[in-house]
Structure formats: C-alpha cells, structure tokens
Amino acid sequence: MSRRTFSKLALASLALAWLPLTTQAAATIDQAAPAFSGKGADGRTINLSDYKGKTVVLEWTNHDCPFVKKHYDGGNIPKLQKDAAAKGVVWLQVISSAPGEQGQVDGPTAIKINGYRDSKPAGTVLDADGTIGKLYGAKTTPHLFIVNPEGKLVYKGGIDSIPSSNPADIAKADNYVSSALTALAAGKKVAHPSTQPYGCSVKYAS
C-alpha cells in the first residue's frame, strides 16, 4: 500500500469520529435563543438578531384556531401586544401553517386580519415551510417564547395557566406572559420559565 493510501485511511478514520458531532440548535431556557431570519407580512425580512438589546416575544398563531380566537376575540392578546409596544418590547407573530393548512395566509391577508382584530404586533413572520417553528419546537397555537435583551431564551410555554377554549377562563388564569414581561422589566428572574403550552397543533406540512 502506498503512503498516500494510509494518509487517506488515517484521515478517513479520523473523519468518522466527527460524524456524531453534528447537533441541532434547540430552544432551551437560559441558552441563546436560536437565530432566525424570516419574511415579514409587509415584505421586509425579519431577523431576530436585529432586536438585540430589546425583549422579544414570539407568538405562534393561527387565526382560525379556537384557542387563538379565545384570546383575540375578547381582546386579551391585542391588549398584551399594546402594553408590550408601550414598554418597548418587540412582539412578533409567527405563522408556521403549511400551504393549504388552516391559518396559512399571505402577507396582505395577515395584515388585514390583524386589522379586524385590532391587533398591532411589531411584525408577523410568515414561516410557511415551518423552519422557524421546528427550530423552536413550537407545538401549539398559541405558543409563546420570550427572548431577553441579551438574546437568551427566558420563557417558553402557554399564554396562561388554564388550558381551555372558554374565554371566561382568561380572567381566572395566571397570565404567564405578562408576569414574565413584568419580571424582566424589574430585572428579576422569570418565575415560571417553562410551562405547558396549549392550543391547536401547529399545522406543519404532513
């Protein structure tokens, strides 16, 4: 065997050892929130990195899902969005429904629907291929994630503590998102960083 063959063999065996090293970015509390870049409903590109230095809320949504409607029809989420904007928090909606599935809309329609619901988020990310949803492990609509100004994930889970489609439960429940935002503004740790998300399943392509 020639010298060149061994070097190849040697390198090949070294290369094999590196195979299992490929890992996926995951959304873990107190770790850096996975970076993403997506198309906004208004046509601009939305990058998570653009908002470094600000608190960012990611809200996975599907306007036809009864659980999303529970929080929009009575004005619960629109109010949270307005309060967030007033405090300088960036609230982004993310729509990960696949084409043809419930909730998937194009940019102009998404803006129109927000208009009907009096919802004013800082932006709406159209994630039709589900990449950003799968990157974060978004399972339900609504599913909420909060990223702190340093870029770390500090909250993931449901919007509040009572999983149901009954609007009457909103007043009785603990709203995890507003508590987390209040804690962050006061420089304190979020009390419940990971809670059970509830809602319809995110309509990824099947």
Partner 1 sequence: MDRANFLLMAALMSTWLALLSPSAQALSSQAATEQVQAQLVASVDAVRPGDQIVLGVQQRIIPHWHTYWRNPGDSGIATTIAWSLPPGASAGDIQWPVPSRFNLGPVTNLGYEKEVTLLSSVQVPDDAKAGGSFPIQAKVNWLVCQEVCIPQEVQLELVLPILQKGAATGAGSPLIAQTQARLPMTNPWPIQIEQRADKLALKVTSPELQSAKVKGIWFYPAKWGQVVHNAEQTRRQQGDTLVLDLQPGEDPVLAGGTLSGVLVVTEDGGDGAVSRGFTVDSTVLPGVATPAPQPVDIGLAAALGLALLGGLILNLMPCVFPVLSIKALALLSHADQTPAQKRLHGLVYTSGVLASFALLAGSLIALKAGGSQVGWGFQFQSPLFVLAVAYLMFAVGLSLSGVFSIGGSVAGVGSSLAERPGYSGAFFTGVLAAIVATPCTAPFMGGAIGYALAQPAGVLLAVFLSLGLGLALPYLALSTWPALQRALPRPGLWMERVKQGFAFPMYATAAWLVWVLAQQAGINSVAIALAGMVVIAFAAWLYESFRHGQGLPRLAGLGVASLALLMALVGGYVGINASPSGTASSVQMTPGTDQHWEPYTAQRLQELRAKGAPVFVNLTAAWCITCLVNERVALNQSSVTSAFKDAGITYLKGDWTNQDQQITKVLTQFGRSGVPLYAFYPKGIDAAPVVLPQLLTPEIVLTALKAAAIP
Which position among 65, 105, 132, 153 is part of the footprint of partner 1 (CB under 8 A)? Answer: 65
Question: Do the strands 56-60 and 90-95 form a parallel or antiparallel pair, or are they unpaired?
Answer: parallel
Q: Tokens in use for 28? A: 């873990």
Residues 92 to 131 in contact with partner 1, rule: CB under 8 A: 101-102, 130
**Contact between 206 and partner 1 per CB under 8 A:** yes
Which position among 161, 164, 179, 182 is part of the footprint of partner 1 (CB under 8 A)? Answer: 164
**Contact between 24 and partner 1 per CB under 8 A:** no
Sign of CA dihedral 100, 106, 112, 114: positive
**Contact between 31 and partner 1 per CB under 8 A:** no
Measured CA distances, 46 to 52, 82, 147, 158 (Å): 12, 20, 15, 24
**Contact between 142 and partner 1 per CB under 8 A:** no
Taking alpha carbons only, the member of 85, 145, 140 closest to residue 118 is 85
* CA 140 – CA 8 distance, rounded (Å): 49
Phi, psi (degrees; rounded to nearest 5) at 47: -115, 135
Buried b (16+ CB within 10 A) or exposed e, 120-135: ebbbbbbbbebebbeb
Which position among 39, 163, 168, 177 is part of the footprint of partner 1 (CB under 8 A)? Answer: 163
**Contact between 161 and partner 1 per CB under 8 A:** no
CB of 96 to partner 1, least distance (A): 10
Q: Which stretch binds partner 1 (CB under 8 A): 47-55, 104-112, 147-155, 161-169?
A: 161-169
Q: Tokens in use for 158? A: 């449901």
Provide the mask over 67-96, with x wherever binding to partner 1 is found by CB under 8 A and - wherever it is not. Answer: x-----------------------------
Q: Which stretch binds partner 1 (CB under 8 A): 14-22, 38-46, 147-155, 168-176?
A: 14-22
